[in-house]
A = this chain, B = another copy of it.
Amino acid sequence: MSLINRDTDYAIRALCFMAKNKKKFISAKELVRDLKIPRPFLRKILQTLNKRRVLRSYKGKSGGFVLVQPPKKIFVMDLVRIFQGGVKLRECIFKKKPCPNIRTCLLSRKLKEIEGKVISQLEVISIASLAGEIK
């Protein structure tokens, strides 16, 4: 029931590392060494981060990845959207969408409220705020 899955988690770690490391290009190799994430898995994540333009990739020898935006402007919620399609704390047990009860279902309504609050909290956690040392 974790709020963030492994993809998101790994992505956050990778981005934090990049935020701290001022070097221009950072290769998957370096990230693997530092983060101890299985290499093919990390590469997959970096590829989608590239597609979604959170970072930019450069091929070829001495290529690698570069952040496109400053770490203050990358938020956990962005990554949750990319890797998990958003936060859905309420999945109706009746699979048929849309649920016929949705308008009268009080439980659904309450869970929706909670969901909204969670999302707005995730929207203000930036990579920059996670990259620092503990205070």
Which residues from chain A sit less than 8 Å from chain B, CB to CB? 1-6, 9-10, 12, 76, 84, 87-91, 93, 103-104, 106-107, 110-111, 113-115, 117-118, 121-122, 125, 129-130, 132-134
A3 with B1: in contact, given A106-B132, A122-B114 (CB under 8 Å)?
yes
Please state if A134 and B84 are interface contacts (CB–CB under 8 Å). no
Partner of A3, one of B111, B122, B133, B134: B111
Q: Which residues of B contact A125 (CB under 8 A)?
A: 107, 110
What is the bound-complex CA distance between A114 and B80, given in angstroms? 15
Q: Which residues of B contact A5 (CB under 8 A)?
A: 1
Q: Which residues of B contact A10 (CB under 8 A)?
A: 93
Q: Which residues of B contact A76 (CB under 8 A)?
A: 107, 110
Q: Give the Cβ gap from A121 to chain B, nearest Cβ, in Å.
A: 5
Please state if A106 and B129 are interface contacts (CB–CB under 8 Å). yes
Q: Give the Cβ gap from A88 to chain B, nearest Cβ, in Å.
A: 6
What is the bound-complex CA distance between A114 and B116, given in angstroms? 12
Please state if B1 and A111 are interface contacts (CB–CB under 8 Å). no
